[in-house]
Amino acid sequence: MRYWAYFAAKLAAAAAALCALLWVIDGIWPAEAHPPALAPLRDAPKILAYNIVVLGWFLLCAGALAAIVFDQRRRCRVCLRRLRMPLETGSWGSMLLSGRPRIEYICPYGHGTLKEEELRISGIRTPEWTAHDGGLWEELRASGKESDNKP
């Protein structure tokens, strides 16, 4: 729930900033109260400049949405921190034995692991999130203690 609330908050913040920018653009080029059916040629440079600015605004919106989605996919589902320590598993040479190569990211506090395909050639697949019940670091610490006790 917290994960999706954070996503919605980022979308709302971006929408507010981009709407404010559109409001500024509309202030520079105000809409006519009674526009003609066909745009007169004498206004062509003005209309062209307006269309280029609105195109830039649209591209900015698309880029902001892509950046928000990309950032959200790489966040921990529990604590919302960025996932770290990318680990490449598998290889294309041994694909028949171990499957396609993947990249695994892990939460620095051990809440879970995100596994995603290294190369997406068959459409969009949702990355696989595996939650850990807090025992990941305990397990690693226990294996470290066992190795310390050995002579």
Ramachandran region of residue 80, left (φ > 0), alpha (ψ -120 to 50) or beta? left
Are 20 and 13 contacting, i.e. CB atoms less than 8 angstroms apart? Answer: no
Would you say 102 or 112 has its CB closer to Zn ion? Answer: 112
Judged by CB under 5 A, does residue 83 bind Zn ion? no
Q: How far is the CB of 36 from Zn ion (least distance, A)?
A: 58
Judged by CB under 5 A, does residue 79 bind Zn ion? yes
Q: Which residue of 75, 76, 102, 106 would you call a contact of Zn ion, by CB under 5 A?
A: 76
Would you say 102 or 111 has its CB closer to Zn ion? Answer: 111
Judged by CB under 5 A, does residue 111 bind Zn ion? yes
Q: Which stretch binds Zn ion (CB under 5 A): 31-39, 74-82, 126-134, 137-145?
A: 74-82
- In angstroms, rounded to a whole number, what is the distance separating the alpha carbons of residues 132 and 144? 19
Judged by CB under 5 A, does residue 75 bind Zn ion? no
Judged by CB under 5 A, does residue 3 bind Zn ion? no
Per CB under 5 A, residues contacting Zn ion are 76, 78-79, 107, 109, 111
